[in-house]
Chains A and B, each alone.
Chain A
Amino acid sequence: MKEGRMTSFLYQKTGGIHLSYIIEMNNICKQFGTLKANDDVTLQVKKGEIHALLGENGAGKSTLMSVLFGLYQPDGGEIFIKGEKVSISNPNDANRLGIGMVHQHFKLVEAFTALENIVLGAEDTKYGFLTLDKAREKVIALSKLYKLEVDPDALISEISVGMQQRVEILKMLYRDAEILIFDEPTAVLTPQEIEELMNIIRKFAREGKSIVLITHKLNEIKSIANRCTVLRKGKYIGTVDVDKTTTQQMAEMMVGRKVSFTVEKGEKTPGEVILKVENLTVMNKAKNKALVKHATFEVRAGEIVGLAGIEGNGQTELVHAITGLRPFSEGKITILGVDATRDSIRNKYEKGLGHIPEDRQKHGLILDYNLAENLILQSYYLPKFQKRGFLKFDSIYLHAKELIERFDIRSASGAKSSVRSMSGGNQQKAIVAREISRDPKLLMAVQPTRGLDVGAIEYIHKQLIRQRDEDKGIFMVSLELDEIMDVSDRILVMFEGAIVAELDPKLTTVNELGLYMSGSKGGTSH
Chain B
Amino acid sequence: MSILYDLFHMSLISAVPLLVVAIGAMISERSGVVNIALEGLMLMGAFVGIAVIKTIEDSNSTMSIQWILLIGILVGGAVGSVFSLLHAYAAISMKSNQIISATALNLFAPAFAIFTARTIQNGQQIPFTSVFRMSEVPFFSKIPFLGDLFFKDVFLSFYIGIFVLIVVFFFIYKTRFGLRLRSCGENPHAADSLGINIYKTRYIAVFLSGLLAGMGGVMFVTSTSTEFNATVAGYGFLALAVLIFGNWKPFRIMLAALFFGFMRTIAAAHAMIPFLENLRIPSEFYNMIPYIATLIVLSFASKKSQAPKAAGQVYDQGRR
A and B touch in their complex, CB below 8 angstroms? yes
Chain A residues at the B interface, C-beta cutoff of 8 Å: 66, 69, 71-72, 90-92, 95, 101, 103, 107-112, 116-117, 120-123, 125, 128-130, 171
Contact across chains for B174 and A107 when beta carbons are under 8 A apart: no
Give the complex CA separation of A121 and B194 in angstroms: 6
B176 touches A130 (CB 8 A): yes
Determine if A110 and B309 form an interchain contact, defined as CB atoms under 8 angstroms apart: yes
Out of B174, B189, B196, name the residue touching A120 (CB < 8 Å).
B196
With A121-B194, A122-B194 as given contacts, are A107 and B189 in contact (CB-CB < 8 Å)? yes
Contact B195 A90 (CB under 8 A): yes
Indicate which residue in B174, B196, B320 contacts A121 across the interface (CB closer than 8 Å).
Answer: B196
Q: Which of B142-184 contact A (CB under 8 A)?
A: 170, 174-177, 179-180, 182-183
**6 residue pairs from A and B, CB less than 8 Å apart:** A71-B320, A120-B179, A121-B191, A121-B194, A129-B176, A130-B176
Find chain B residues with CB under 8 A from A122 CB.
194
Task: Pick the residue among B176, B180, B182, B190 that contacts A107 (CB under 8 A).
Answer: B190
Residues of A contacting B195 in the complex (Cβ-Cβ under 8 angstroms): 90-92, 95, 121
Note all chain B residues with C-beta closer than 8 A to A116: 179
Bound complex: CA A108 to CA B187 (Å): 7
A111 partner residues in chain B, CB cutoff 8 A = 182, 186, 309
Query: Beyond A111-B186, A112-B183, is A91–B175 a contact (Cβ under 8 Å)?
Result: no
Alpha-carbon distance A117/B192, docked complex (angstroms): 13
Q: How far is the CB of A90 from chain B (nearest CB, A)?
A: 6
Q: Is B193 an interface residue, CB under 8 A from the partner?
A: yes
Q: Complex Cα distance A95/B194, Å?
A: 9
In the complex, what residues of A have CB within 8 A of residue B180's CB? 120-121
**Contact indicator per residue, chain B 44-67, by CB within 8 Å of chain A (1) or not (0):** 000000000000000000000000
In the bound complex, CA of A129 to CA of B171 (Å)? 8
B193 touches A108 (CB 8 A): no
Cβ–Cβ contact A103 & B176, under 8 A: no
With a CB–CB cut-off of 8 A, which chain A residues contact B186? 109-112
* Contact assessment for B179 and A123 in the assembled complex, using a CB-CB cutoff below 8 Å: yes
A71-B320, A72-B320, A120-B183 given as contacts; is B177 within 8 A of A107 (CB)? Answer: no
- A108–B170 CA distance with the chains assembled, in angstroms: 23
Known interface pairs A92-B195, A111-B186, A120-B194; 14 further A-B residue pairs with C-beta atoms within 8 A, sorted by A's residue number: A66-B320, A71-B320, A91-B194, A101-B193, A107-B194, A109-B182, A109-B191, A112-B179, A112-B183, A121-B191, A128-B176, A128-B177, A129-B176, A130-B175
Cα–Cα, bound, A109→B188 (Å): 9
Distance in angstroms from A178 CB to nearest chain B CB is 18
The distance from the CB of A134 to the nearest CB of chain B, in whole angstroms, is 14
Chain B proximity of A93: nearest CB distance (Å): 8
A475–B176 alpha-carbon span in the complex (Å): 49
Q: Note all chain A residues with C-beta closer than 8 A to B193.
A: 69, 71, 91, 101, 103, 107
Nearest Cβ distance between residue B159 and chain A, in whole angstroms?
24
Interface code B294-320, partner A: CB below 8 Å = 1, 0 otherwise?
000000000000000100000000001
Closest Cβ neighbor of B177 among chain A residues:
A128
CA distance in complex: A69, B180 (Å): 20
> How many interface residues does B have (CB within 8 Å)?
21
Task: Give Cα distance in the complex from A66 to B189, angstroms.
Answer: 13
- Residue among B174, B182, B183, B194 with the highest chain A CB neighbour number at 10 A: B194
- What's the least CB distance linking A309 to chain B, in Å? 26
Asked if A120 contacts B175 (CB within 8 A), the reply is no
Given the complex, which residues of B lie within 8 Å of A110, measured CB to CB?
A: 186-187, 309
Known interface pairs A66-B320, A92-B195; A108-B176 also in contact (CB < 8 Å)? no
**Shortest beta-carbon distance, B319 to chain A, in Å?**
9
Interface contact B320-A120, CB-CB below 8 Å: no
Please report the C-alpha to C-alpha distance between residue A95 and residue B309 in the assembled complex, in whole angstroms. 27
Decide: B187 and A109 in contact? CB cutoff 8 A.
yes
Taking the closest CB of chain B, its distance from the CB of A180, in whole angstroms, is 15
- Bound-complex Cα distance A91 to B191 (A): 10
Q: Given known contacts A72-B320, A92-B195, A121-B196, is B179 in contact with A107 (CB within 8 Å)? A: no
List, in ascending order, chain B residues with CB within 8 A of A69's CB: 193
Complex-state Cα separation, A268 to B212, whole angstroms:
71
Q: State A116–B194 Cα separation when bound (angstroms).
A: 12
Does the CB pair B190–A123 fall under 8 Å? no
Q: B174 is contacted by which of A72, A90, A103, A129 (Cβ under 8 Å)?
A: A129
Contact in complex: A108, B194 (CB < 8 Å) = no
Are B190 and A117 touching (Cβ within 8 A)? yes
Least CB distance from A185 to B in Å reads: 16
- For A286, the closest partner residue in chain B by CB is B304
How far, in angstroms, from A129 to B173 measured CA to CA in the complex? Answer: 9
Chain A residue, CB-CB nearest to B174: A129
Nearest CB to that of A171 among chain B residues?
A: B194
CB contacts (< 8 Å) of B187 on chain A: these are 107-110
Asked if A120 contacts B190 (CB within 8 A), the reply is: yes
Considering the chains assembled together, what is the distance between the CA atoms of A103 and B189 in angstroms? Answer: 11
Query: What B residues does A72 contact at CB under 8 A?
Result: 320
| B319 nearest CB neighbor, chain A only | A32
CA of A288 to CA of B41, assembled, Å: 44
Closest 7 CB pairs of A and B: A121-B194, A92-B195, A107-B190, A91-B195, A109-B186, A109-B187, A107-B193
User: How far is it, in angstroms, between the C-alpha of A212 and the C-alpha of B306 when the chains are bound?
Assistant: 38
**Are B175 and A108 in touch, CB under 8 angstroms?**
no
B residues in contact with A90, CB < 8 Å: 195
A1 to chain B, nearest CB (A): 32
Q: How far is the CB of B197 from chain A (nearest CB, A)?
A: 9
A120 pairs with B191, CB closer than 8 A? yes
Which residues of B have CB within 8 Å of A101? 193
Cα A66 to Cα B193 in complex, Å, equals: 10
Set of chain A residues within 8 Å of B191, measured between Cβ atoms: 109, 120-121
Among the interface residues A117, A120, A122, A171, which one has the most CB atoms of the partner chain B within 10 A? A120
- Tell me the complex Cα distance, A107–B309, Å: 13
Q: How far is the CB of B307 from chain A (nearest CB, A)?
A: 11
Residue of B176, B191, B192 most packed against chain A (CB within 10 A)? B176
| Cα(A72)–Cα(B193), bound, Å | 11
Residues of B close to A125: CB separation below 8 A = 175-176
- Give B171 Cβ to nearest chain A Cβ, in Å: 9
Which residues from B are CB-within-8-Å of A108?
187, 190
Distance of A116 Cα from B320 Cα, bound (Å):
22
| Partner among B175, B183, B192, B196 whose Cβ is within 8 Å of the Cβ of A129 | B175
A71 to chain B, nearest CB (A): 5
CA distance A125 to B175 in the complex (A): 8
A206 to B193, CA, bound (A): 27
Measured CA separation A129–B187 after assembly (Å): 22
Assess the B176–A109 pair: CB atoms within 8 A.
no
Contacts of B176 in A (CB 8 A): 123, 125, 128-130
Q: How distant is the Cα of A92 from the Cα of B196 in the complex, in angstroms?
A: 8
Chain B's closest residue to A69 (CB) is B193
Residues in B with CB closer than 8 Å to A95 are 195
Q: Judge whether A130 and B179 touch: CB under 8 Å.
A: yes
- Interface residues in B195-229 by Cβ distance below 8 A to A read 195-196
Chain A residue numbers with a CB within 8 Å of B189 are 107
